[in-house]
Amino acid sequence: MRHLAFLWVLVATACKEEAPPSPKPDASPSVREVPLTSPSPPAIEAFKRGRDLYEDARPVEAAAELRRAVELDPRFALAHAWLGLALGGDEARRETDLAAGLTAGLPEAERVDVERMVAEERGDLARGRALRKRLVELAPDDWRAQEELGLQAFNDERPADAINPLKRAIALNPTAGTAHNVLGYAYLYLGDYDGAIAAFKRYAELKPAEPNPEDSLGEALLGAGRFEEAEAAFRRAVAKSPAFWFAWVGVADARFFAGDAAHWREALARAKEAAVRPYDKGEAQEAIAWSWLTEGKLADAMKALDVLQREAEAQKVEWWVVVAEIDRAIFLSENGQSAEALKRLAAGDEAAARAHLSGGLSANARRMLLYWRVWIESRLGKAEAQKTLAAVEEEVKRMPPSGALASLGPFARGAVALGKGDAKGAVAQFEGCVAEDWFCRYQLVNALAQAGDKAGSSAARAKLAKANGRHPLYVYVRTRAIASK
């Protein structure tokens, strides 16, 4: 892992005399993008290649181009910010810190774009949201600004609100493949499989050499229950780029949902083998651990988490050290060892306190620990669950949630209600969880049954079973929900 802050000092010294006195922004009048301020045309071209690669879900290749951009122009703020996105982890924090210190004198729209990315990397979602809105005001005809607005709505679990800005982005730049991609996911989360498939196919037409359009198409086909077609699309993705490891996870899910559980873990192993970044290898290894839990083999699942932690420590990817402890707690709790699970959560707290995580990852770790602590304490009937719920309420106030963790509040309230024997109260809360909070959706099935609503429980179980979500936790809860029928 290269230390890019040190690299910046070396390159700045080497290029100091060659830089012209007044950097000029580069803007494309055809699509009216936010300007790119750099004195180096080659740096701008490297940045554009890197940005395109990152948008097409190829962070490893993107990082190489973005590194080139900042080597050519060490004061290229936007390139540093995008390099942080591509690298992730500790290097992300270093790059975004560099970007934050290079915004003086930039055109306002470019400065706001950099500040937005810095805020989001640091976990300040409220500021990031405000800056996205400001960027659209400053550059209403920038297709990426419109796409970001749509992406914000999508990440906030408001897919219907994402469609208009995404269509606006496409109108401004019909060749914007990533806008078609996000639009496809908005349709997918609305249950419009035909709309999603059409959007992803258009993305594939625009980017025929890229693996991500095929991967996205595979996910839509997976959601539609067309498992053989989904697997074929995922395989086309890895054929186009063997390093596109996540498509192997898609192959694994397609096989599992089609009833071929025997070859599920084989595809997950292929995913880990194909992954290049240590972070991605960790994600694949975590999926392997969940596969063992899904099969009811706790000892093997815990061994897989031991592998995850050892590899994460060796590679200094502290996020997976924290997640390994959280997963141990979940696995133990799901196997009737909730008291021991609380000890693992305490170990997770200690790991998170030691880790040098970015603001965003630190916030996610804190929320995950709260989520599972309130659940496990409530299962044990501990009075501490009420205190944890109070901590959850403070967390919800402090940071506007987005994504699956937006469920933190309703899930915690439902968990405490269920722990007190109030199944109907739990149902009312669990129904407020976002669609992709699979564990909460599974507990809704159980709470409805405990409340005596057999029809409602059956309907919630059927809905959960048909979701075909692309996440190892989903595969686990789907299996448990079907088994408990």
Span 200-245, pLDDT tens digits: 999 999 999 999 999 999 999 999 999 999 999 999 999 999 999 9
Q: How many CA atoms lie within 13 A of 253 on its CB side?
A: 31
Is pLDDT above 80 for 108? Answer: yes
Q: Are 281 and 271 in contact (CB under 8 A)?
A: no
Q: Can you read off the two tokens belonging to residue 241?
A: 């780029």
Of the options 1.10.3720.10, 1.25.40.10, 1.10.10.10, 3.40.50.300, the CATH number for the domain spanning 174-258: 1.25.40.10
Q: Which of 91-95, 114-118, 126-130 tops mean pLDDT? A: 114-118
Instruction: List 26's β-bridge partners, or say none.
Output: 36
pTM of the model as a whole: 0.85
- Give the domain ranges of the chain: 4-155, 174-258, 259-483
Taking the alpha carbons at both ends of the chain, their separation in whole angstroms is: 49
Span 32-83, pLDDT tens digits: 778 999 999 999 999 999 999 999 999 999 999 999 999 999 999 999 999 9
Place 399 in a pLDDT band, splitting at 50, 70 and 90: low
Span 433-445, pLDDT tens digits: 988 899 999 999 9
Place 380 in a pLDDT band, splitting at 50, 70 and 90: very high
Alpha-carbon separation of residue 312 from 22, 158, 284, 295, 316 (angstroms): 44, 34, 12, 25, 6
CA distance 68 to 78: 13
Give the CATH fold of the 4-155 domain. 1.25.40
- At 463 the pLDDT is 94
- At 405 the pLDDT is 66
State the residue for tokens 């299962």.
379
- Backbone angles phi and psi of 453, in degrees to 5: -95, 80
Of the options 3.30.1380.20, 3.40.1390.10, 1.25.40.10, 3.20.20.70, the CATH number for the domain spanning 259-483: 1.25.40.10
Q: Can you read off the two tokens belonging to residue 162?
A: 């994402």
Span 333-372, pLDDT tens digits: 999 999 999 999 999 999 999 998 877 788 889 999 999 9
> Which amino acid appears at position 388 of this protein?
T
Cα angle 405, 311, 242; round to 5: 80
Alpha-carbon separation of residue 367 from 334, 403, 451 (angstroms): 19, 12, 28
Neighbours of 454 (CB within 10 A): 10
- At 468 the pLDDT is 94
State the residue for tokens 């929320």.
367
